[in-house]
Structure 1
Amino acid sequence: MAAGTASPPCASVAARASRPSSKRSDPTTRTDTRRLDMNIKKIGVLGSGVMGSGIAAHVASAGCSVELLDIVIDEAAPDKLAEGAIAALAKSKPALAMHPSFLKKIRPGNLRDHLDRLSDCDWVVEVVKEDLAIKRELYGRLEPQLKAGAWISSNTSGIPLKLLVEGRGDAFRKHFVITHFFNPVRYLRLLEFVKGPEVDEQEALAFRTWLEEALGKEVVPAFDSPTFIGNRIGIHGIMATLHMALAEKIPFEVLDSVLGDAAARAKSAAFRTADLAGVDILAATAKNVYDLCPNDEVRDTFKFPEFLQYMLDNKLLGNKTKQGFFKKGPKDAKGKKTFLALDPATREYIPQVKRDWPILKELKGIDDPAEKVRTLLTSDTEAGRLAWRCVAPNLTYSVNRLGEVTDGPLNVDRAIKNGFAFELGPFETWDTLGVERVVARMRFEELSVPPLVEQMLAKGITSFYRWEHGTPVAQLNPKTLAYDPILEDRRVTILKREEGRGKVIAENGSCQLYDLGDDVACLAFHSKMNALDDGIILLMEDTIQKHIPGRFKGLVVGNQGQHFSAGANLVMVLNAAKDKQFDQIEEVARRLQYAGRMLTYAPFPTVAAPFNLALGGGCEMTMACQRAVGHAELYIGLVEVGVGVIPAGGGCLQMLLRMEDALAAKGELGPMPKVKAAFQGIGTANVNTSFDEAQRNGYLRRTDRRVMNKAFLLHEAKQEVLKMAADFQPVKERTLRLPGRGGSEALKMAVRDFQLQGLASEHDAIIMGELANILCGGDVSLVQEVSEERILELERQAFARLCSFEKTQARMDAILKTGRPLRN
């Protein structure tokens, strides 16, 4: 929701919100709009509150210069608010800027003294108090400062656009739109876009294209209606669930258990989402709808129950006040965090109620969102029936909003998925469950059926979309009851659609090889969490040796799962270790290493397209490719020490090579600096939390390229392959000068100091000792050069040895069962 929308853990939000978009745009139109040369370099942000500062951080991360201005509250320090906002951004967790250095692009100022700074801005976005008089007064002072053609937008969600531009000149009105961001701006992709009749359609489309490409946003056109699409429908769902919880005395946490991951939605579900966003924001948005939509057929859903007013009066506002529907409790006997839930009856915080429903465990094993939703909502279990009762009213409400908030199902689904981190929008849910089945159940339960759905069924129309190969290709026009085509966007590659078109060249149970067109192939993993296993290694070998040569110009390694790859198949490794098959473990490591080396030294371009999680083996495969074109939201690192081993798919070698390059650029030469840097990165299991951070830390090279919009990632990776192929230069093998035994002893001594301080265990020291030996080249002298092959040999031998330790196996077992690392 706006001005404080739910923020599940950042990687989770990124994973869900950046699934391939089902949006299509006319490629011809796209080409024409780019001729308008939309080139935005400097932006003014008016208002430095939560939303204003979040917008400033995001556009700065996109490379723009920012003027951040706010009101004067202290004559002695007139820029205090903006300066404080920038300071808060530097401390934000999760980080709102993609790297701290981007905050230097933001200049603080104030609205009294510095409006002249906006005279060279290409876009000015207003994020001040939701008060029409205040906004109008500001626009009056702003208008004379704007350069010709500059865009002006408001982040409002409660004031009609036509009222905002009253009294403004033609030039102002022709470039004024509403750009309604969702908070946190970095992590939620939705941007609702509202334009008035004076704005030229082609210019608006060019601006939207820039917002998509430069900021990575899912730009959804909305009508100028109260709270637009996302909040109107999303807040309805939360408020309806709140009324049900209070009326039937159902604990909030019980409802959240069936409305989060179990329903293919953000883990924060309903009430945790309200806490994250702010209970006051939930209430303010609901009040807007209640006040501004007198004809809403379920208007009373948005009316405050007395309990919600109690929460507001007592500052139970969620995370911002550290207590809302939930709050942190004392640690349990095992030292784990606990959470308490607010009891509406006693108004006290009590231990959470947990229902041991078997279906929730079953749903954890289902990856496909449609299958998960279908399984839950059609289940004749207590959990399934409860989830249905929460979801069904919102399905009806969504249909009834067509024509009021937007013109078709697709924009509603895009708004809900990207604003609330759902994996299926409401109309995709209708189609997944089957419109006829949903209506039959609603009639049986005496629920209201939307009039539009009754009209559809009367004409034999049984879906909101036409589907081909699991992809919507047309959407229902609610006015004509005909299907309008969803035009393809040339920047968006959808592998599921390509599979249906017969573009799969080879496949097995773990991955597929696609023909992306233009003589470029794509190797896509689809194992559980895209973990690297025998099937992936085998097809990777066949791809490089058999399928690419003579047929394709190059290879993209990428996929469209929830994550690029969460690492190696740990279950396979643990089972082999328990069976004492250490020779087999070493052989699997050798095959993974050499698959990586084939990617590095292939006689054609190889480009990785990583996104979300690229951990352990996923990081190694990214590093093995000759280049990476990665999504801005990338969480990449070598985390193997957390499960008691070291990287053994070429990760140690790649870290040495990359650290040598990065440090040489800074003038730091010699054997030891690169070893220390690699030892620190691997030894601390460091995970970089963005593409930019990984690039600055040397995990990615300067030649690697960032893509802000994940929907365009495979297309951009393909373009990189074609660019490299035009003047291809094969990678040459290198030798390394390493410090040998002396260097490894120095590193081991440092680890012993950590042991004495209680910061490392005995087993940690064993792991670090193996790592030090690998990175230092084993038993060599300073004058010897160490081959890449020797480092790989040391890697896989150490990996197999560490797997033999019971404490390593215990760490693997713990991470698989609990998801948390074990320190033993």
Structure 2
Amino acid sequence: MLYAATIAKDIADNISGIDEAMRWGFNWEMGPFELWDALGVKVIADRVVAEGGKLPPLVEEVLATGNGRFYQKSESGQVSYFEAGQYLQKAVNPYAFSFKQAHKQGKEIFGNAGASLMDLGDGVACLEFHSPNNSIGADIVTMVQKSLVEVEKNYLGMVIGNQGKNFCVGANLMLILLEAEEENWDEIDLMIRALQNEMMAIKYAKKPVVAAPFGMTLGGGAEICLHSHAIQASSELYMGLVELGVGLIPGGGGTKEMAVRAMEGVLPGIQVSPDYFFAKRFEAVAMAQVSNSAEKARQLGFLRNYDRYSMNPDHVILDAKARVIDLARNFRPNLPTKVKVGGPGVRATLELALHGMREGNYISEYDQHLGNKLAFAMSGGDRPAGMLVEEQYLLDLEREAFMSLVGEPKTQDRIRHMLAKGKPLRN
């Protein structure tokens, strides 16, 4: 901090540029001059003097001619930085969006404890999550349903995004565990049905829905993206269907959607085995693979070829808004279609791969059990290869597998371990 204040005028036009370089280039949460303000400029200066140090001229100048801070913020939220005895307004990025400012400006249409529907302007709304850790609970499920109704009546379309630490870390595992420990199976079944229904409502919405994921986008957060009409992600994206790590399979339509996307790779009229296409999607889910970028998420099958990403995280929301406007021009809602299933042959291939991994001690016996459940649901159960089924059939298989696993003691042990330690248990 002292070093930055000493050389600031030699290396940058202003202190704001230094702070932005450290945040954007080195992933600091605050730049050096923001740290000065956070800790207190006078507090730090007094300590430096008390320890026999010398204050940089810039710090002395802030204390003598400024208000004792490197930055100040007006009531409207406009940020100014200290420069030569005065405070200059920081340039506003026209491509950046702030939910905090939007709330202050009364842009909230309605909301609850878990989410708010915001007016982005130009006929576009945004469903903003703000639950603890942006995890999916009853409040968010309710807001999805209510927001889609509002958007279909009065808006061109909707963005799903927020500016929390992460986009969404998945479902509320604590709630699921508590219900499982009480053996409230009907309650869990209703929760999963409601989640599946809202995902399908997003997929078949009458107006375009664009997801704007960033950071950790796991489990149910990834499922929201998979069911949206398009994705406008941040380039830094940690996306994955990680439910097998807690002894479950994706239960909010993720298993179904990965099976749908696997069969999309099999072009009509071409005699080709679907094994390869299923194996790629299956591996992403069974191994709980998480991308380290938006481009890697595309390789794992979470983003499609037409999905996009923004290099600047501050631009994601407005880039997603522009995508909604673009889609709305000639938008045609998705029509329910039947899906070809992979069949027993695909399931046998996937189970054989799991057997080989178990024999090589790459996975545990319970991992293999979970993988077999996933293979059964993804391949279409007992239906023969190529048979056309409704998406609801695949959702039912997914939910049945989820419900059969949530009561398993080893699954509950995995959930407890994840909640307590923040990392998966391999039991």
Structure 2 length normalisation: TM-score?
0.90
Give the match for residue 207 of structure 2: 604
Supply the distance in 1 between the matched residues of 2:129 and 2:145 (Cα, whole angstroms): 14
Please state whether the residue corresponding to 2:153 is helix, strand or coil: coil
2:38 to 424, 432, 438: 432
Q: Which amino acid aligns with 1:816?
A: L
2:155 to 549, 552, 558: 552
Give the match for residue 281 of structure 1: none
Post-superposition offset of 1:778 = 2.5
Map 1:131-150 onto structure 2 (within 5 A): none
Give the match for residue 88 of structure 2: 484
Give the match for residue 500 of structure 1: 104
Contact residue 259 and residue 278 of structure 2 kept, 8 A = yes
Post-superposition offset of 1:742 = 5.7
Distance 1:761 1:463, change over 3 A: same
Post-superposition offset of 1:792 = 1.2
Alignment deviations for residues 108-135 of structure 1 (CA, whole Å, 9 cap, x no partner): xxxxxxxxxxxxxxxxxxxxxxxxxxxx
Supply the distance in 2 between the matched residues of 1:507 and 1:556 (Cα, whole angstroms): 15
Supply the distance in 2 between the matched residues of 1:753 and 1:587 (Cα, whole angstroms): 36
Distance 1:733 1:533, change over 3 A: same
**Identity of counterpart residues, as a percentage?**
34
Distance 1:792 1:631, change over 3 A: same
Contact residue 263 and residue 340 of structure 2 kept, 8 A = no
Give the match for residue 813 of structure 1: 416
2:251 to 624, 648, 656: 648
Distance 1:744 1:735, change over 3 A: same
Distance 1:714 1:747, change over 3 A: same
1:755 to 355, 358, 374: 358
Post-superposition offset of 1:682 = 1.6
Distance 1:619 1:776, change over 3 A: same
1:516 to 120, 128, 137: 120
Contact residue 258 and residue 378 of structure 2 kept, 8 A = no
Post-superposition offset of 1:726 = 1.0
Give the match for residue 708 of structure 1: 311
Alignment deviations for residues 717-740 of structure 1 (CA, whole Å, 9 cap, x no partner): 111100011111111112112144
Give the match for residue 12 of structure 2: 406
Supply the distance in 2 between the matched residues of 1:469 and 1:768 (Cα, whole angstroms): 55
Supply the distance in 1 between the matched residues of 2:279 and 2:335 (Cα, whole angstroms): 24
Map 1:177-256 onto structure 2 (within 5 A): none
Please state whether the residue corresponding to 1:404 is helix, strand or coil: helix
Supply the distance in 2 between the matched residues of 1:401 and 1:749 (Cα, whole angstroms): 63
Contact residue 537 and residue 595 of structure 1 kept, 8 A = yes
Distance 1:438 1:600, change over 3 A: same
Q: Which amino acid aligns with 1:660?
A: M
Supply the distance in 2 between the matched residues of 1:671 and 1:454 (Cα, whole angstroms): 70
Alignment deviations for residues 401-429 of structure 1 (CA, whole Å, 9 cap, x no partner): 33222232201211222333210112212
Q: Which amino acid aligns with 2:262?
A: M
Give the match for residue 377 of structure 2: 774
Post-superposition offset of 1:753 = 3.9
Give the gaps of 5 or more residues in structure 2. none
Supply the distance in 2 between the matched residues of 1:599 and 1:468 (Cα, whole angstroms): 39
Post-superposition offset of 1:555 = 0.8
1:688 to 287, 291, 300: 291
Supply the distance in 1 between the matched residues of 2:114 and 2:423 (Cα, whole angstroms): 26
Please state whether the residue corresponding to 2:251 is helix, strand or coil: coil
Please state whether the residue corresponding to 1:550 is helix, strand or coil: helix
Q: Which amino acid aligns with 1:795?
A: E
Q: Which amino acid aligns with 1:762?
A: E
Q: Which amino acid aligns with 2:217?
A: A
Q: Which amino acid aligns with 1:602?
A: A
Supply the distance in 2 between the matched residues of 1:529 and 1:489 (Cα, whole angstroms): 27
Distance 1:450 1:665, change over 3 A: farther
Give the match for residue 215 of structure 1: none
Map 1:234-633 onto structure 2 (within 5 A): 394=1, 396-439=2-45, 448-459=54-65, 461-468=67-74, 473-477=79-83, 479=84, 481-545=85-149, 547-633=150-236
Post-superposition offset of 1:573 = 2.0
Post-superposition offset of 1:625 = 0.5
Supply the distance in 1 between the matched residues of 2:264 and 2:91 (Cα, whole angstroms): 45
Map 1:67-106 onto structure 2 (within 5 A): none
Post-superposition offset of 1:641 = 1.0
Give the match for residue 802 of structure 1: 405
Distance 1:750 1:485, change over 3 A: closer
Q: Which amino acid aligns with 2:24?
A: N
Alignment deviations for residues 549-587 of structure 1 (CA, whole Å, 9 cap, x no partner): 332211111122232222222222222222222222222
Post-superposition offset of 1:606 = 0.4
Post-superposition offset of 1:696 = 3.6
Please state whether the residue corresponding to 2:22 is helix, strand or coil: helix
Distance 1:404 1:761, change over 3 A: closer
Supply the distance in 1 between the matched residues of 2:371 and 2:269 (Cα, whole angstroms): 27
Please state whether the residue corresponding to 1:649 is helix, strand or coil: coil
Post-superposition offset of 1:783 = 6.5
Supply the distance in 2 between the matched residues of 1:688 and 1:460 (Cα, whole angstroms): 46
Post-superposition offset of 1:741 = 4.9
Please state whether the residue corresponding to 1:573 is helix, strand or coil: helix
Distance 1:429 1:746, change over 3 A: closer
Distance 1:450 1:746, change over 3 A: closer
1:793 and 2:399 aligned? no
Give the match for residue 252 of structure 1: none
Contact residue 417 and residue 423 of structure 2 kept, 8 A = yes
Count how many residue pairs are aligned between Structure 1 and Structure 2.
427
Supply the distance in 2 between the matched residues of 1:729 and 1:774 (Cα, whole angstroms): 30
Contact residue 631 and residue 706 of structure 1 kept, 8 A = yes
Distance 1:693 1:452, change over 3 A: closer
Supply the distance in 2 between the matched residues of 1:775 and 1:700 (Cα, whole angstroms): 19
Post-superposition offset of 1:460 = 5.8
Alignment deviations for residues 19-53 of structure 1 (CA, whole Å, 9 cap, x no partner): xxxxxxxxxxxxxxxxxxxxxxxxxxxxxxxxxxx
Q: Which amino acid aligns with 2:129?
A: F
Alignment deviations for residues 674-732 of structure 1 (CA, whole Å, 9 cap, x no partner): 44443232222222333223324432211212322222211211111000111111111
Contact residue 663 and residue 673 of structure 1 kept, 8 A = no
Structure label with greater radius of gyration:
1
Give the match for residue 338 of structure 2: 735
Distance 1:665 1:706, change over 3 A: farther
Contact residue 259 and residue 379 of structure 2 kept, 8 A = no
Give the match for residue 301 of structure 1: none
Give the match for residue 391 of structure 1: none
1:764 and 2:370 aligned? no
Supply the distance in 2 between the matched residues of 1:499 and 1:648 (Cα, whole angstroms): 33
Distance 1:448 1:471, change over 3 A: farther
Give the gaps of 5 or more residues in structure 1. 1-393
Contact residue 275 and residue 349 of structure 2 kept, 8 A = no
Higher relative contact order (CA 8 A, sep 6+): 2
Q: Which amino acid aligns with 1:424?
A: M
Please state whether the residue corresponding to 2:125 is helix, strand or coil: strand
